Amino acid sequence: MRRRVLWLLAALASAGAGARSDLSDDDLERVRSITAPAADFSAAEPFETMQAGAATIKKLINADIFSHASGNLSFEGRQQFLVGNGLFRKDWVSAPSSTQASDGLGPLFNARSCQACHVKDGRGSVPGFDPLERTDAVALLLRLAVPAAAPAGTALSAAELAALPDPVYGSQLQNFSVAGLPSEGRVEVDYTPVTVPLAGGETATLMRPAYRIEDLGYGPLHPEVQISPRLAPPMIGLGLLEAIHEDDILANAAQDKGDGIRGKPNWVQDLRTGRQVLGRFNWKAGQPTVEQQSASAFSNDMGLSSPLFPSHYGDCTAAQPSCAEMPHGAQPHLGEHEVPGRLMDFVTFYSKNLAVPQRRDADDARVLAGKKLFYEANCIGCHVPKYVTRRDAKQPEHQFQLIWPYTDLLLHDMGDGLADGVSEGQASGRQWRTPPLWGIGLTAQVNPNATYLHDGRARNLLEAILWHGGEAQAARDRVVEMTPAERADLIRFLESL
């Protein structure tokens, strides 16, 4: 294994950063040197504890650790952040209401606020694994898709065919509605335990989910509809992810990572420019910017209009005429949208500047041993440790920062076990974007009920690893083959992020 790892690290180091049109030749060499994969695991790397560069914060570890402003924001920036925080947390109400500028919710919706899904700016919660402790699914959304047929005379792969929304229920199931209108349905999840043997005599029990929709409010779903559950992810560091240079992401896609790993970019439409650009956000990299992701959530999750998504009726379809007859909340004296552009700017600024906490125990011997195992298992084939952000990033606080998000922001085939069958842009039903790992060790501090993966099926980090398949199968199998002490060290490393 060690010989293979040395070869892999040498290959990745020689590939270096991308062309980087924003850097001089001297700066590019510096960036390539500092972002080369670690080869010495006897001590922490320089600046490794500062996961988000100068934006990193060192605060008291408690449930609010994901809710702080980036450490390098100016006084004026902090004022914008606080206004955005208020908008992110506020509950919207249905129209008409005496509370003007806060109405327009729905008519169909999943949550009344952004914070309802992103619990304390961290992960959402699934309904629960214990049937006696089930709660309503708020942060767990169900995307709906009907496979599109290829035009006559063409031979397109499934990944090249755009999925269509359900003709009645649209692209997402909304399990709540305003008064006088039926909701679309209720999400139910059944779990089947799956035992996985591990080296050293240990076992792990995975929970395989099966989803169904009860109490459909508008008749049957399309007979070929596919369901994709999506759990609200953490919000930290999003602006810095947006500031990673496209050339570096595409360079990751061009590299030979070993084990059959081949990351793929998802090219999606930027609604501001109309151009096809690199997707970075959401579980399948279906959104290119924090602004567009935020506006999409306002529209689909809460039924609120904004400049990028101007419909006042969210995901209502032509098959739901009563939905479009409900009053909306746009106020003529405030603008034509329920969330006017100025308010969207505040929410976007807030979302781009939630701080990444400082690493803990980076010099601990067991953490360093776990880091070495992380590299040796080739987890870095997808979870690329570090980048230097663009010199010309839109926000000065995001410019030229050494960051450690542990992601390549690319799509990977994750195997049958995690496949949802739903395509999104150029992402197939087996592909998912590599999620960032920074802050993952503080998940339970922020939300004790939080779980992992795109649908929250993994109750702990080891379960999340064991669900990996496809391009990650070899890395997953190396974790299975580790001794119990080695697996414990690997988890210690992840918990330090």
Beta-sheet strands, E only, within 322-386: none
Neighbour count for residue 204 (Cβ, 10 Å): 16
E strand or H helix at 277: strand 276-278
Q: Give Cβ neighbours of residue 247 (< 8 Å, ≥ 6 apart).
A: 17, 18, 19, 20, 21
Angle between helices 75-89 and 341-352 (to 10 degrees): 110
pLDDT at 445: 96
What residue type is assigned to position 262 of the chain? Answer: R
| 242-290 pLDDT per residue, tens | 999 999 999 999 999 999 999 999 999 999 999 999 999 999 999 999 9
Nearest alpha-carbon partner for 96 in 366, 330, 343, 362: 330
φ/ψ (deg, to 5) at 341: -55, -40
Phi, psi at residue 374, to the nearest 5°?
-60, -45
Q: Which residue has the tokens 């399948």?
A: 284
Q: What is the Cα–Cα distance from 316 to 120, expressed in whole angstroms?
A: 29
Percent of the chain with pLDDT over 90: 87
pLDDT at 156: 46
Helix (H) or strand (E) holding 466: helix 461-466
Q: What is the model's pLDDT at position 6? A: 46
Q: In this model, does residue 92 exceed pLDDT 60?
A: yes
Q: What pLDDT, in 10s, does the model give residues 301-323?
A: 999 999 999 999 999 999 999 99
Convert 266-292 to b/e letters by CB count within 10 Å (16 or more is b).
bebebbeeeeebbbbbbbbbbbbbbbb
Residue 210: helix, strand or coil by DSSP?
strand
pTM of the model: 0.94
Whether pLDDT at 187 is above 80: yes
Share of the chain above pLDDT 70, in %: 92
Question: Which residues partner with 213 through β-bridges?
Answer: 187
pLDDT of residue 163: 78
Q: Residue 230: which of 466, 412, 418 has the closest Cα? A: 418
Residue 2, pLDDT above cutoff 70: no
CA-nearest of 134, 284, 111 to 209 is: 134
Nearest to 394 by CA among 268, 291, 275: 291
Per-chain mean pLDDT for the chain: 93
248 with 402: CB under 8 angstroms?
no
Three-state SS for 424? strand
- What does the radius of gyration of the chain's CA atoms come to, in whole angstroms? 22
* 211-231 mean pLDDT: 96
C-beta separation of 415 from 216 below 8 A = no
62-80 mean pLDDT: 98
Q: How many CB atoms lie within 10 A of CB 370?
A: 23
